Amino acid sequence: MRTPTFTCMLAVAGAHVFGGHLCTALAWDAHGHRTITRLALDGFVASAGSAAPLPDWLTDESARAMVAYQSSEADRYRGTRSNYLAHENNPDHFLDVEDLETFGLTLSTMPPLRYQYVAAMAVARHVHPEEHQPHNPRLNPSGDQEWPGFVAHAIAEHHAKLTSAFKTVRTLEQLNDPARAAQLQMARANVLVHMGHLSHFVGDAAQPLHTTRHHHGWVGDNPNGYTTDRAIHAFIDGAVLTIHSLNYDTLRAQAAFDARVDAGDPWRDIITYIQRSHDAVEPLYMLHKSGQLTQDPGRPFIAERLLDASSMLAALYTSAWNASAPTDRDVQDFVRYDSPARAEPAPGMGKPQP
Ligand SMILES: [Zn+2]
């Protein structure tokens, strides 16, 4: 369980009961998420488009700019003060890997299905109450700090939604029905929305401080004297990218796009990806302590995190695309569910006849 800090407690105590939680971290700022997205789109075009070119609506500069913008939407949710939104959205941005142990879980044994994961933790907390501080709704009214986090589940779920969105577009394109023009336009927009959401959480998971209980400075035993300054989080999110001039143009030549994802079930690949980021937590603190994070050794270290994210995201985009070709049965089911006879009328055509 994430323990609210003193600063957080003050902020929450001053918030309205339905106020948003003020202390959950962002990850890469919008610039970092855009960089990951634009790199990944290059990898997607190169791999998924190798058999047949991807359509313009998915790859032109307008689409790239929209997906890059959308890749920060999940952080914009934090700007609306709602416990309902904070409860649902905030824990999707992180996974404090060390805290799984208090629920008898590890990265490799964590249930892949979200509510089975929650149920397993609730049972563990009931059986071993001594391992857990009870959740305090006064200090954390949205409950967004109650569990170790859901970023792995968010990636898997958004990958599945993107696969579905691709399939709908390709189904509508096969139908090629002028009466469904608005449906196709919206379906294409949905693809860009889901590509952006997926990018966000893949990006977050590559920020090592989003995979650890030491997310805002080292907590607990600290024999190596790592920083306990909360500011390290924001420093990694943004300032260190500026210091090393890490952006699309400077990283493009290094992007390898060698990650691969099992389209049928990407869970193991997602877990391996999060483990790589978690493995970088202590090296990150060591670089920070030695002062090398802002010097030559720091640049490839942070660049590798951004490039790993773009490679993984490209692989997830590609696997979703490759799994989305509709079968004849898919097309028939789509029409049966939403038949032309009951379609929305074109503007000015009046109500459809029953
Ligand atoms: Zn985030």
* Ligand 1 centroid to residue 193 C-alpha, Å: 15
Q: Structure pTM?
A: 0.90
Helices 298-322 and 281-290: crossing angle, nearest 10°?
150
pLDDT attached to residue 2? 54
* Ligand 1 centroid to residue 19 C-alpha, Å: 19
Concatenated DSSP letters for 134-147?
Answer: PP-TTT-TT-TTSS
CA dist., res. 301 & res. 293, Å (int): 8
Residue found under tokens 């941005």: 93
* Ligand 1 centroid to residue 247 C-alpha, Å: 18
* Ligand 1 centroid to residue 128 C-alpha, Å: 31
Q: What is the dihedral of CA 105, 210, 66, 154, to 10 degrees?
A: 10
Q: In the predicted model, what is the mean pLDDT of the chain?
A: 90
Q: Where are the domains of the chain?
A: 31-134+142-329
Share of the chain above pLDDT 90, in %: 82
* pLDDT above 70: residue 63: yes
* Ligand 1 centroid to residue 230 C-alpha, Å: 17
Ramachandran region, residue 149 (left: φ > 0; alpha: ψ -120 to 50; beta: rest)? left
* Ligand 1 centroid to residue 279 C-alpha, Å: 19
Burial letters 178-197, b for 16+ CB under 10 A, else e: eebeebbeebbebbbbbbbb
* Ligand 1 centroid to residue 185 C-alpha, Å: 28
Q: In this structure, is the dihedral angle defined by the CA atoms of residues 92, 96, 102 and 103, taken in order, positive or negative?
A: positive
* Ligand 1 centroid to residue 75 C-alpha, Å: 5
pLDDT attached to residue 22? 37
CA dist., res. 275 & res. 297, Å (int): 22
Q: What type of residue sits at position 36?
A: I
CA dist., res. 72 & res. 34, Å (int): 8
Residue found under tokens 């709602």: 82
* pLDDT above 70: residue 12: no
pLDDT attached to residue 7? 33
* Ligand 1 centroid to residue 204 C-alpha, Å: 5
* Ligand 1 centroid to residue 137 C-alpha, Å: 23
Q: SS3 of 95, please? A: strand
The closest alpha carbon to 290, from 233, 214, 238, 227, belongs to 227
pLDDT attached to residue 65? 98
* Ligand 1 centroid to residue 93 C-alpha, Å: 5
* pLDDT above 90: residue 90: yes
* Ligand 1 centroid to residue 180 C-alpha, Å: 35
- 121-148 pLDDT tens trace: 999 999 998 888 888 889 999 999 999 9
The closest alpha carbon to 315, from 277, 268, 250, belongs to 268
- 180-232 pLDDT tens trace: 999 999 999 999 999 999 999 999 999 999 999 999 999 999 999 999 999 99
pLDDT attached to residue 51? 78
Q: SS3 of 94, please? A: coil
* pLDDT above 90: residue 3: no
Domain 31-134+142-329 falls under CATH 1.10.575.10: yes
Average pLDDT over residues 71-78: 95
